[in-house]
Structure formats: C-alpha cells, structure tokens
C-alpha cells in the first residue's frame, strides 16, 4: 500500500509528505511513550542497526561542532546506553515527559528516506521539584527509513536543544 | 553433588583467601588453621568480593560495609548483613581443591543471625602512659565520654596521680598534703574501671606490635595509646654541682626534699626567674628566709611576658624582700652559694634550680613519632600523633596548627585537663569541645597572677591601673589577645570577653581605669568579625563545616580572596579565537569577562562591564568584532579594552558633555593579567600572581602538558550545565578517589576501574592542585582474576559496542586516565582518549555552572575524532560517569540546605594528615584542599 516500499524511486509529493508526516507523528507518539512510561530497553528498537543518534546544543550545532551529550553510532551503542542507564546509573527518582510537535517533512529522498524535523520539549519532575520544570526545548533533525512491514525506523536523529544550560544532568535520552 | 576442581590447596593455605570460579559461580576459598572452606564470594549485602576482605577469628569481614560472616557456616554475624552466605563442600584430592557447587542446605534455614546486637563493650584497649594529672584526667574523661573498653594507666611514680600546682605553692609551706592534690577521689579509679599500674616505668613502644615494654620485662598490648609522659625539670650543668645539693621542683619527691631544705636553710638562692623560680622564692620568703633570684636575662620572664607585667613582678618581688640578680650568668655553685660570672657571690645554703622543664618525649621519639623542633610530640587538634593509634596530651604534647603550622606546647593545669578531654572525645567518637581561651595562674607573694590568652614578649601592651594593675596585649589590629592581672580577677573576666569578641579596642580607653570595660564591648561590638563567627570544628581538617558550602558571606569572601586573588583562572582555549577580532564571553570565577584576540595577535581578557554604567556590554557567546560598543550609551572600546569613544563627550553646542578633567585613558574596561600555556588561556585579577609555571609546580605542570603538549587543538564543542551544589564540591569530587568505584558502578561493571588497576591521588605541595590518575589494563596483561572482575557481575552486562572502552595509546604517560584540578576552577580531563576542560563558574553558594570544552588535536584523523566523540559518552551532563557526580553533588547540597550547624566527616586515612596518599581509600587530598582554602580565606 505504501508507495515507498516498492522498487520504484519514492516520489517527493505533497501527498507523500502528508502521509509521511502522519506516520512520523504516530512513530514519535510511540517513541515518547517508551521513554516516558515504558521500558528503556525498548528504545533502541526505534533505530536502524547503523543509526546515528546525537543530542547537542544549538550552540554546537550552529557552529558545526560535533560533540553530543549522547553520541551513538549504531544500535549497539544505543543499547549500551540504555543498559548502562537502566542497570548501573545512579540518579534521583524523577518523571520525564516528552512532547513532540510541529512535525515538518522536509524531503523524501529517492531511496525512500524521509527527512523531517519536529520540535520537542522535555519536562522533568523531581520529588523535590513537584511543579516540574522545562528541561529541554529544541528540535529533532531526523531521517526515517520506511520498513517492509510498513513502519519506520530512525537512521539518524539529532536532537538540537535551545536550552543552553542543562539543569544538572540529562539522565534519559530525548 | 556436582564436584569441580579448582586450584592447588597449597595456594589457598599460602594466601589464606583466594577467589575462584567454578561451574560459573564466583566462590571464595579460605584456609582456617590448615582446613579449607568454600563460600560464595559475593557479599549478600552489596556487591563486593569477600576475598578482598579481612579474615579474623574464623570470620571474613566484607571490605565494603564491614559485614561479618562466619566462614565455616556462612552465618551473617549482624548488621549490615542479614542474609547468610552460601557455603560449599570442599575436598582435597592430589593437592587440588574440589568444590561441590551445589550449596549446602541449612545455613539460611537457621534462625537469623540478628541477636539484637546492641552496643557491647568496646573491644579497644587503651593504655595511658604517664600517671600525672593529664593521664588521670584522660582515664576519667574516657569514661565520661562513654568509652567502655579496658583502660590501663601506667605511671612511673609510685604515688597516685596528683596535680602539680600545689607542689611549688602550699605543699612547700606544709599547708596542704599530697593526698589533697590527688586527681582521683578515693575509690574513683576502681569505679572508672581503670587499672592503675604505678611505680612502673615503660621502656619502649613497639608501634608495629602495638605493645608497650615495661621495666619489669612484661609487655602491655594496646589498641590506642595515650602518651601523658609530661615534662622533666631542665638540668643545668654547673661547675661545683657535686659539692652541694642542687634542688629542683617537678614532682612530689622533689617537693618532699625541698620543703625541709627550705625550712632548714637561712639563705636561699633560686637560679631561674620564671614562674617556678618565683613561686619557690615566694614560698621561701613566706618561711622567712633570705631569698635571691638569679636570672640570666635582663628581666624576668623574658620569653613569655611583655616588659610591663614582668617589671611589675620584679617590683613585687623586690617589695617582698627578694634580691633580684638580672642579667646574671652563673659561673658555678659551692657550699658558700652561687658564683656569678661577674665575680660576685650570692651567698646561700640552699640552691634551687628553676630553669623550666623539657618535654618527656623520649619514648615517643624512640618509637619514631614526629616530634617538634623544640622537643615534644607533635599532635593535631584531636591530640593524635603521627601514628593514628597514639595520642599525646599534657606537657609532652606540641599542638601543631594545621593551617599556620605554628607549634604550641603548654605546661598548665588547664591544658592537662583540656588536652585529655580532647583525646578522650576523639577516642570515644564524641564531638570535640570548642577550644578554651588558655588560662594560667601563679600564686606569688600572697597574691595571684592570672593570665588569659597567649601573651608574647613583643606584643604592644596596655597597662590599666585600678585597684590592681592589669595588662592587655594587643595584636596589630588592636584586638586583645591576652590579659595579665595581678589582684583583680574581674579584670581577667572582662579581658576574656574582649579576647573572645575579637573587636579592635581603643588603647587609650582600655588604659583608662574610668572606662567601664563591659561598655567598651557594648559601644563597639556591633558585629563580630568573620573569623569569630565562622569557626572551624575543633577536631580540625577531618571535619568540614556546612557553612563552607552554604554561606553567602563565605562565598563573597571566596570571590575576593580566591577568584579575584592571586590565582590563575582558565578562561578559554586560544583555538577558540584564532583570528584577530575573535572573541568569546567567559568568566573569571563568577565575574563575566571577554577573551579577545587583538590585531597584534595577542589575547586580552577584559571585564565585561562598561566603565560608564556597569552594563555587561558583550552579549554574544562568541563572534568577531573590530571593537566593542556598549549598547546603552554607545561607549566603545578597542580590542585591548581601551576606551575609544564617548558619544557627545564635549557636549552639544558647548553645553553638557564631560568635564575638562575627563581622560578616556583612565576609563577603559578593567584589563586582567593573561597567560597562555600551550593553547590554554588563563587570566588573573591579581597583578602579583606568580608565573603559571610556578603556580602549577613541576609535577602538576607535567600532567597538564600531557594534555596540552603544544599540539594545535581542535575544539569539538561545549556542554554547559548548572549544578545545584557549592562550587567546591566539584574539585572535591576529583580529590575523592574513595567514591570512584562506589558511586560509579559503570566503571566497575565494564572494567574501566577494577581491583588491580594502578592508580594514584597526587596533590601539589600547597594542596590546591591535584591529579587523580589510573591506568587501564589492556586485555593482554589483565590477570584471569581481574578479567573475571571486568565481566559484568550481573548476567548479560557486556557492552555490545566495545569501541567506547578502547584506549588508543597516544600519550607518554603511565596513566590512561588523569583528572586534574587546577585550582580554583579548572578541571583538565583525560579519560582515555576523550579530552576536555571544565570551567567552574560559581553562581552563589548553592549553585554553579560548568562549562565543558571538548577537544582533540588538529592532526587527528577522522576516525580518531569520532573515537573521541564516542568516548565522550562517559563524561558531560549525560555521561555515564558525569551524571552520577552531578547527582551526588546535588544530594550533598540538599543534605545541607535545610539543616544548621552540620559538618562533614573527611577522616579517611588519618596517617596522611593532608596531601598525597598511597591509598585511594583516603580523603587526604580533600583535607589538603581545605588547608589551602583556610589559609587563603583567613579562617
């Protein structure tokens, strides 16, 4: 049913972008649900085996500086990240809630890869800070690969945050 | 039954405890009296290997939290361990230990090991050497502070412990008896449970065996030893000494000899014009004898008192019929009396030497304890000597101030008591009392002279004449440091209050007998000075009070004395401003500055504050500019910070504008002193700061240069985050090797820091900079045991992508990891191949911002750069290690914020008071940092 799964080059049409946007919104809703309320070990499954994942400040991104708060090459490193956080990291109890909005499909490449951006905010609530606070606001710069079953996987996600000063620590991915 | 072979039995017997793996289980083999036992090797309480613990009495103590298990049965012996250890059957065949890996039933089924383990008797044995007042007071104070273990007091004198002051006073006159001077009430020693072994001399201390050898040939074991060996009368080698009886006065025997001798004499000569000599003279006069006092100095008490009170004493002595011979050297003694060097003879039929006392430090000195240059055993604020198992109190102890290094030995009744109490508190684990103002008294010629505080001969002294004269010593800031009174104790009481208040006083008013001294306080004492309000815990550097981390006033003083003081503060990398006009906004401490490269190629650092109305004029994080223009009134500055333009400086149409005296040259922005070291830029508000190389010292500079070898740097980016803690907690964290394997489970789990890694905590001689270093073992050289350790201790815990942990050798250094603190606000990170600097920007006492600049070298290839970036996952605000430190620091600050009067305990590794230690289970580096901090802060 999808025009992106066949042999033909994917067409970058208005309709295709609209369809892709819906698929991405669905994807991100699931993605956020896993990070907010689910099992962190499921998070790497949103990515392709070779995926690139980076969280970096707008300061770095705008100046072409490559460091990331989290910098992963490949799903194996994403799994290591999830495992390390889940099993070895010490941090205070907290709730994190991710919001993604303003999804924009910026292009569909002939190979089917969907390029998109989405704004995000991350609200962190600590036991001693029950009113919660904005932890990050920024945008995701994404590349999605359509999968044979009809779903999407991220082959690249760069989270660029405007909130220059990270409050204390970023314990979970965005 | 599931038998598995392990290792040779001989190896277990040789080592006592060996970790082995059998059938996938991590087991411990122990040898007890030749027999071999197997237990699980992981503590049932928290993750730790029991084979690294201490084995004693058939039990193994877990190295982590001191949980105790019976090796034979696996039974947990009480808190914190509640769950028994699995045990396994063992047999030895052909010299090899075989283990049945099916655990024995039973151990856990038995009743829980908790037997309501209350406070039993303290197992530590305290031995007190010295049967004087200090020794006896220590025995008494130990019980008062709740110490429940056995206490033995060994005294060379046969008499029960007594106080010495009456010896030279009423006892000489026969007005009191020695029994009345005894420290213990009748039956008190028995009630205290103190074993008195009197008339017995100790001959040696064996610190390794923790034994005291006694003259009867026996030895006395101790866990804690208290040296209260006092002082001995100073002997003078005088020609003719063999022809007469030379008396001195130190102990009861001396007093018992001297009393009758004074009564039998008609003329008494006292050699030595100190307090003891004057007291003997006083007693001799009270007996109606002719008395002469011979003093080598040109006045009495020249080493102790200022001239005023010494002259008063000389006058009083003269009025009471004492003949004073000042500036008189003794040539010899004879039955006729004392011959002076000038040829005169002081006729006497009783000669007494009162030339002071020397500390009885021979036992401690022979045992290798640190001693003071002038004699005596050096102790810290708690009374502990250089051997943490040995304390010294009373006359033999020399207290060395941890901050100033000043050494003080006090021979006084008060100090005997107070030092005994301090040691007892330290041993019993109770809080130390605040230091008392020193107090001393002497009964002379029917009056009493009292001294409060520490007088010194060279201090300016104010005399106040009232009903009786009193003297006040003042320091350079006109604050009262000591009070000497002779006849009006009320003046001493008021003097004590002035000493405690630390307020400057007007010397003229102090001298005026019509000034009410209690009103001096009320008039002038609006605000106590900072060092009187913020006093360090009496225990010393092993405690850090909360106010160090939470007080705004302390924080302000840190900015003034540390960040704006003679320190080098990291501001950025030269690689961040490669071209003329390139600038970054940065900070020195909390103060905003701009680092900018000028057209001469130099790097300038100027305060980011317009000299007109203080506006922080540079707003962009970085950029390139030809000049800086303050947005408010368009004042402009060149790249060196010089004021180049003032709009309407000369007014409009001759009206307004600056006055004729306005010179732009005087109104540039504040320029800081700048230095560079291989691409790192430092600035200082102080013109007096030493060179960066001297500031660092050779050892610290070498670690710094490993990361900054002069290769061109490539900036990979920044992290910025706020931490909800006091800024000092961050350098402390990197001077705290104790936390590394305890907080950072990741390190242990994935083998980055494991038992057997080489590591070090190195501190510069001044205590401010430091390097925490460790060497990652590469796979080829890791022992099988350590490999087992590096594997996850929970199933499935291995890195899927091991590139994170790869270490590409690129430095000429024995260390794969160095975390260097460059005081006050820089951390240089070399975590294998991920390199960076962290700049601390304090933001009030309870928060700071950390700016990380991650970098590589310009000649790195693409793969090396990516490797550094991948390894960066370890560090930063989301780093596997970094985030845990951030959280821990926040927890510490949270713990302090809503309480008051608290203090931290940083007492690990007492053998190293402060500085570099050989063990990672140490807080000596933190203590060194606070020694420096207190020196800089004057607190």
The CATH number of the domain holding residue A85 is 3.10.450.50
Q: What is the mean pLDDT of chain B?
A: 89
pLDDT (tens digit per residue) in B616-656: 999 999 999 999 999 999 999 999 999 999 999 999 998 99
Residue A7 counted as domain residue = no
| Residues paired with residue B325 on neighbouring β-strands, in sequence order | B294
Whether A163 has its CB under 8 Å from any CB of chain B: the answer is no
Structural domains in chain B, sorted by start: 3-100 (2.102.10.10), 126-232+359-428 (3.50.50.60), 264-285+293-352 (3.50.50.60), 459-533 (3.30.390.30), 569-681 (2.102.10.10), 689-897+907-937 (3.90.380.10)
In tens, the pLDDT along B716-743 reads 999 999 999 999 999 999 999 988 878 8
Beta strands in B201-360 (DSSP E): 202-206, 211-214, 219-221, 224-227, 231-233, 246-248, 267-271, 290-295, 322-326, 330-334, 337-340, 345-347, 350-353, 357-359
Q: Chain B within 8 Å of A74 (Cβ-Cβ)?
A: yes
pLDDT tens-place values along chain A, 174 residues long? 444 454 567 789 999 999 999 999 999 999 999 999 989 999 999 999 999 999 999 999 999 999 999 999 999 999 999 998 888 888 999 999 999 999 999 999 999 999 999 999 999 999 888 999 999 999 999 999 999 988 999 999 999 999 999 999 999 999
Predicted ipTM of the assembly: 0.93
Q: Do A90 and B873 touch (CB under 8 A)?
A: no
Collect all residues of chain B within an 8 Å Cβ-Cβ radius of residue A88.
745-746, 749, 797, 880
The pLDDT of B126-147, averaged and rounded, is: 95
Question: Is residue A35 in some structural domain?
Answer: yes
pLDDT tens for B397-440 read 999 999 999 999 999 999 999 999 999 999 999 999 988 889 88
Strand order across the beta sheet in which B622-624 lies: B603-607, B591-597, B582-588, B622-624
Q: How many domains is chain A partitioned into structurally?
A: 1
Is any Cβ of chain B less than 8 angstroms from the Cβ of A33? no
A91 part of a folded domain: yes
In 3D space, the residue among A75, A138, A137, A145 whose CA is nearest the CA of residue A115 turns out to be A145
Number of Cβ within 10 Å of residue B2's Cβ equals: 10
Between CA A161 and CA A120 the distance in angstroms is 9
Q: Is residue A174 part of a domain?
A: no
Of A71, A76, A167, the CB nearest to B872: A71
- For the record, the structure tokens of B935 come out as 């020196």
Please indicate, yes or no, if residue A21 is contained in any of the structural domains: yes
| Structural domain that includes position A69 | 14-161
pLDDT value at B749 more than 80: no
* Chain A contact probe: residue of B46, B725, B876 with most A CBs at under 10 A: B876
Of B9-13, B678-682, B828-832, the least confident: B9-13
A57 inside 8 A of chain B by CB: yes
State the nearest Cα–Cα gap between B891 and chain A, in angstroms: 9
Instruction: Tell whether the model's pLDDT for residue B443 goes beyond 60.
Output: yes
CA–CA gap between residue B61 and residue B142 (Å, rounded): 28
Query: Is B392 in a helix, a strand, or coil?
Result: strand
Residue B724 with chain A: CB contacts under 8 Å? 168
- DSSP character string of chain A: --TTSSSSPPP--HHHHHHHHHHHHHHHHHHHHHHHHS-GGGGGGGEEEEEEEEEEEHHHHHTT----SEEEESHHHHHHHHHIIIII-----EEEEEEEEEEEEEEE-TTSPEEEEEEEEEEEEETTEEEEEEEEEEEEEEEEEE-TTS-EEEEEEEEEES--SEES---S--
């Amino acid at each position: 049913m999808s025009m992106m799964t066949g042999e033909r080059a994917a067409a970058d049409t208005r309709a295709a972008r609209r369809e892709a946007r819906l698929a991405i919104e669905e994807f991100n809703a699931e993605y956020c649900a896993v990070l907010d309320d689910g099992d962190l070990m499921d998070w790497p499954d949103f990515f392709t085996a070779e995926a690139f994942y980076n969280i970096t400040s707008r300061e770095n991104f705008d100046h072409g500086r490559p460091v990331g708060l989290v910098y992963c090459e490949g799903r194996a490193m994403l799994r290591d990240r999830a495992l390390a956080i889940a099993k070895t990291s010490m941090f205070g109890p907290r709730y994190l809630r991710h919001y993604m909005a303003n999804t924009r499909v910026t292009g569909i490449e002939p190979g089917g890869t969907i390029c998109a951006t989405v704004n995000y905010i991350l609200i962190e609530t600590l036991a001693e800070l029950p009113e919660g606070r904005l932890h990050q606001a920024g945008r995701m710069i994404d590349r999605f690969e359509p999968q044979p079953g009809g779903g999407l996987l991220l082959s690249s996600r760069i989270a660029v945050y405007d909130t220059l000063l990270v409050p204390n620590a970023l314990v979970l991915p965005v | 039954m599931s038998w598995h072979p392990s290792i040779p039995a001989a190896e277990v017997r040789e080592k006592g405890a060996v970790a082995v793996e059998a059938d996938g289980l991590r087991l411990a083999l122990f040898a007890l009296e030749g027999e071999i036992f197997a237990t699980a090797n992981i503590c049932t309480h928290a993750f730790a290997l029991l084979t690294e613990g201490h084995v004693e009495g058939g039990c193994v103590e877990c190295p982590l939290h001191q949980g105790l298990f019976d090796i034979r049965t696996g039974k947990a012996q009480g808190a914190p361990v509640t769950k028994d250890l699995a045990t396994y059957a063992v047999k030895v065949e052909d010299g090899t230990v075989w283990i049945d890996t099916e655990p024995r039933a039973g151990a856990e089924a038995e009743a829980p090991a908790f037997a309501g383990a209350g406070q039993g008797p303290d197992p530590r044995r305290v031995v007190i050497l010295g049967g004087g007042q200090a020794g006896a007071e220590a025995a008494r104070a130990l019980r008062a502070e709740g110490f429940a273990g056995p206490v033995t007091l060994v005294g060379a004198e046969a008499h029960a412990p007594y106080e010495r002051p009456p010896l030279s006073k009423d006892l000489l006159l026969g007005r009191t008896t020695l029994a009345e001077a005894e420290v213990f009430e009748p039956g008190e020693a028995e009630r205290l449970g103190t074993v008195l072994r009197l008339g017995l001399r100790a001959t040696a201390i064996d610190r390794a065996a923790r034994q005291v050898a006694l003259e009867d040939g026996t030895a006395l074991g101790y866990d804690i030893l208290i040296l209260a060996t006092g002082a001995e009368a100073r002997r003078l080698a005088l020609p003719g000494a063999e022809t007469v009886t030379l008396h001195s006065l130190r102990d009861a025997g001396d007093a018992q000899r001297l009393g009758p001798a004074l009564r039998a004499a008609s003329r008494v000569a006292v050699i030595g014009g100190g307090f003891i000599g004057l007291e003997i003279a006083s007693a001799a006069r009270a007996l109606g004898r002719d008395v002469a006092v011979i003093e080598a100095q040109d006045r009495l008490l020249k080493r102790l008192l200022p001239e005023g009170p010494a002259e008063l004493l000389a006058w009083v002595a003269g009025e009471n019929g004492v003949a004073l011979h000042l500036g008189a050297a003794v040539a010899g003694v004879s039955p006729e009396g004392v011959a002076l060097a000038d040829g005169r003879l002081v006729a006497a039929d009783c000669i007494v030497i009162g030339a002071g006392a020397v500390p009885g430090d021979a036992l401690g000195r022979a045992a290798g304890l640190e001693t003071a240059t002038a004699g005596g055993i050096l102790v810290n604020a708690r009374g502990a000597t250089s051997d943490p198992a040995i304390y010294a109190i009373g006359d033999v102890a020399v207290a060395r101030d941890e901050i100033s290094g000043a050494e003080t030995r006090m021979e006084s009744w008060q100090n005997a008591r107070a030092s005994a109490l301090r040691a007892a508190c330290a041993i019993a684990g109770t809080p130390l009392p605040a230091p008392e103002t020193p107090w001393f008294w002497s009964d002379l010629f029917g009056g009493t002279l009292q001294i409060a505080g520490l007088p010194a001969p060279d201090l300016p002294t104010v005399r106040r004449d009232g009903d009786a004269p009193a003297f006040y010593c003042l320091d350079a800031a006109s604050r009262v440091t000591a009070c000497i009174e002779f006849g009006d104790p009320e003046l001493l009481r008021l003097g004590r209050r002035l000493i405690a208040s630390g307020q400057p006083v007007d010397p003229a008013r102090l001298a005026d007998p019509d000034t009410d001294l209690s009103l001096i306080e009320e008039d002038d004492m609006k605000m106590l000075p900072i060092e009187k309000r913020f006093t360090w815990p009496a225990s010393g550097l092993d405690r850090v009070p909360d106010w160090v981390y939470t007080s705004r006033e302390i924080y302000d003083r840190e900015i003034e004395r540390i960040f704006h003081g003679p320190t080098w503060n990291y501001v950025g990398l030269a690689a961040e401003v490669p071209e003329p006009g390139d600038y970054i906004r940065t900070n020195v401490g909390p103060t905003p500055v701009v680092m900018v490269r000028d057209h001469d190629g130099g790097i300038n650092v100027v305060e980011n504050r317009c000299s007109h109305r203080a506006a922080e004029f540079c707003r962009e994080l970085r950029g390139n500019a030809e000049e800086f223009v303050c947005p408010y009134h368009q004042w402009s500055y060149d790249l060196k910070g010089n004021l180049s333009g003032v709009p309407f400086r000369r007014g409009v149409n001759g009206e307004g504008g600056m006055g004729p005296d306005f010179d732009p040259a005087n109104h540039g922005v504040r320029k800081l002193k700048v230095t560079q070291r291989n691409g790192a830029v430092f600035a200082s508000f102080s013109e007096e700061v030493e060179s960066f190389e001297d500031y660092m010292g050779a050892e610290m500079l070498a670690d710094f240069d490993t990361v900054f070898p002069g290769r061109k740097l490539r900036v990979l980016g920044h992290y910025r985050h706020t931490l909800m803690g006091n800024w000092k907690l961050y350098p402390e964290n990197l001077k705290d090797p104790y936390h590394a394997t305890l907080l950072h489970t990741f390190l242990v789990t994935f083998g980055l820091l494991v038992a057997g890694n080489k590591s070090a905590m190195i501190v510069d001689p001044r205590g401010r900079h430091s390097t925490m270093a460790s060497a990652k073992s590469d796979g080829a050289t890791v022992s099988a045991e350590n490999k087992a350790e590096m594997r996850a201790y929970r199933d499935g815990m291995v890195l899927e992508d091991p590139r994170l942990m790869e270490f590409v050798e690129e430095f000429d250094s024995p260390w794969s990891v160095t975390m260097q603190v460059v005081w006050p606000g820089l951390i240089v990170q070399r975590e294998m191949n991920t390199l960076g600097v962290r700049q601390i920007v304090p933001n009030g006492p309870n928060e700071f911002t950390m700016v990380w600049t991650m970098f590589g070298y310009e000649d790195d290839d693409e793969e090396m750069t990516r490797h550094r970036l991948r390894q960066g996952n370890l560090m930063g605000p989301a780093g596997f290690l970094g985030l845990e430190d951030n959280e821990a620091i926040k927890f510490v600050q949270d713990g302090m914020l809503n309480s008051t009067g608290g203090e931290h305990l940083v007492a690990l590794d007492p053998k190293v008071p402060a500085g570099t230690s050989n063990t990672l289970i140490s807080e000596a580096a933190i203590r060194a940092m606070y020694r420096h901090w207190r020196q800089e802060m004057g607190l």
